[in-house]
Amino acid sequence: MSSHSAPASDRRPVALVTGASGGIGGAIVRDLANTHRVVAVGRDEQALARLAADTGAETRIVELTDANAIDSLAAQFDRLDVLVHAAAIADVRSVEQATADDWERQLSINVVSPALLTWATLPLIRRSAGTVIFIGSGSGTRPTAGSAIYTASKFALRAIADVLRLDEARHRVRVVTVAPGPTDTAMQRTMVADAGGTYVPERYIRPESVAREVRHVVDAPSDVHITHVAVRPRVEVPRA
């Protein structure tokens, strides 16, 4: 695997986006690629290939639950300005329904992996006084009935962001939670199906709208630290 060192002629800032083969992550890659060298990490080879063709982003298939794979990914960078954690899964499980494997799998991807990737890349982010963006959820502030693990993971992810922000203030690292409400993605379709609901795409936020809020955070003036952005549907979607 080659280094992500930029050619001498390429002075663009560097962004790393996980979950890039998903709806929100892919939209973020497409937007940031207009101004950044983007490394897009995901699990769907075909989706990543389309991203690369459309945007010129570098793509990597990385198992983010593997600490060694995370370390190997981080070691390929000599510069990093923006880190976006968009990778997540959302299996709808209540406490009654969830098994130990359910808890371990979802918390590993949604909580532990972004924490470890942040740790692995933190020296570079400090050097650039960069920005770390955690893609949270409305479920990170408001519990969702029947979805104990996902809700717990998003509460935990916001806690990680809030503590990291305090710890890294002296390095001028900006740490932001962008928390979309229900968004029109494959994950949302699965969650609605698991809950026995009817999916109506028009009710939900478009992934491109979430990407615009990420752009707003990335482009914030140097004297500004936006800490939390809640992105809600224009008309709230009824919840159980």
Report the CATH number at residue 121. Answer: 3.40.50.720
- In a domain? residue 19: yes
Q: CA 86 to CA 23: how far, in whole Å?
A: 10
The per-residue pLDDT for 193 is: 72
The per-residue pLDDT for 239 is: 63
- In a domain? residue 236: no
- In a domain? residue 52: yes
* Residue keyed to tokens 């470890």: 116
Coil, strand or helix at 126: helix
- In a domain? residue 2: no
Mean pLDDT of 208-223: 96
Contact 81, 36 (CB under 8 A): yes
Q: How many domains, in total, are found in the chain?
A: 1
- In a domain? residue 170: yes
Token pair, residue 46, equals 């075909």
Q: CA 168 to CA 126: how far, in whole Å?
A: 8
- In a domain? residue 184: yes
188 lies in which domain range?
A: 14-231
Residue 104: pLDDT over 80: yes
- In a domain? residue 197: yes
What pLDDT, in 10s, does the model give residues 134-170? 999 988 888 888 899 999 999 999 999 999 999 999 9
- In a domain? residue 1: no
